[in-house]
Structure 1
Amino acid sequence: MALVEIQNVSKTFKTMMAGARGEVHALSGVSFSLERGEIVAITGASGCGKTTMLRIIMGLEQASGGSVVVNGRKVSACGYDRGMVFQHSELLPWRNAVQNVAFGLELKGMDKPTRVAEAQRYLDLVGLGHAAERLPHQLSGGMKQRVGIARALAIGPDVLLMDEPFGALDAQTREGLQNELLAIQAKTQQTIILVTHDLDEAVLLADRVVVMSRGRVAEMLDVRLPRPRPSLAALRGDPEFGDKRLRLWKLLKTEMDADARKAA
């Protein structure tokens, strides 16, 4: 059995337009799975259902149909078997870095000395051991995201969910954090589902890329790049990287052109 199984998931939102009730079908029959230690990226045009799918896997939204199973357990709400990293770090401003990382461990009932030691260990993992006492306003955007990653990893999730985690950062910081994530995953073999608009990022990080369109899986691409992977700059000349990146671009352009024709 796969570690994560998404089976025929649908999601319908009720709407009210011009006084009339209606429905928006955000997801329709989405199915894919992840093996332990695998990274899967989900990409697609805005509004295709990427983030809705991620929120259902996390348990922040309820599916209208189908199921999500993580390590043999059906998802019905949030749980410690899943950790989430958001586009913005969402750190508690009154807690320093180590206290933010320890927050989930505190909710799990871990005693203070043990949770502080664990939080420090994960700050070390993301290269921020020296910044344990800093408050969020004393951290750069990239440092905040690393604290967010450490916080999500500290609870020991079966799968790490990441919603555009580097999308709000400048290009140089984003590329640095992509390399950090590759290094962390190489050490921990963490299973990851990553939502991204960045095609380079999808091919760089993922073993497979799920391309979504209008709430459905349009295509799934295998990325046959060996691990450990080098930096994005080093991969740009690799034929496999270029082929998959071009394939993704063509798929998304086809979908966007179809949407433009429909709107016209």
Structure 2
Amino acid sequence: MYFYRNGAISKSEIERAIIEIYKAVLRYAAELLAVQNASVGRRILDSVTPITGQRLTELRSSVENEWQKLCQWVQLDAFDNLLQNGRQAELRLARIDDEVSKVLRVLQNFSLPVAKGAYYNSYANQHDDRCLPNTRVELLSQISEWAQSCESKHIFWLNGMAGTGKSTIARTVAHSFDNEGKLGASFFFKRGEADRGNAERFISTVTKDLMTKIPQLVPEVALSLFTDAGVDDHGNASSSSIIA
């Protein structure tokens, strides 16, 4: 097994095995040629005494033995390379596991504060109204075009007097975009409720919703949480770094 553990020894042993095979083949060929060129009398004598046949058999066995050794060593060398590649793959996987564990620890230690019931489809909002079919068609179409156009401004400002249906329209749009797989995040304020009555947890709630919809954001959010440990205590003042 020393051959298996030492690359330099393995190379020399393989070279030696090839030479031994070559020498054995030459000896075998020489003996065979001598028998073929022997006189008739010598052939008769050899047929009576099986010395030459025994010699050829021994030489042939020598060739086969050396060949088997060479095959075994080459197989061990290939197996050694396979093990080396396996070890490298294990090291890479271990590093990946370590990085994932770090991210998980960060997320566990620095959880994002979320405003309960702020999502459009939360339990608290399940009975809230949405636009009836064939109503607000023009406005909903306008919002849809705004969302799909790359040239649109970043904010669509929907304003109006209290009770004119702004929240109903917003829930309808959120529901429609969610069904189409286009909704990033939602936050519905509600006057009089602790978490939804102000913007203290607005950014952290939206960020958490975005992380759920777009998992690729998790490493960046985790990095921001790791470098800004005051997110939990300072609300949006520190959370602003998350979506900067």
User: Could you state the TM-score of these two structures normalised by the residue count of structure 1?
Assistant: 0.20
The structure with the greater share of residues assigned to strand is 1
User: Could you state the TM-score of these two structures normalised by the residue count of structure 2?
Assistant: 0.21
More relative contact order, 1 or 2 (CA 8 Å, 6+ apart): 1
**Structure number with bigger Rg:** 2
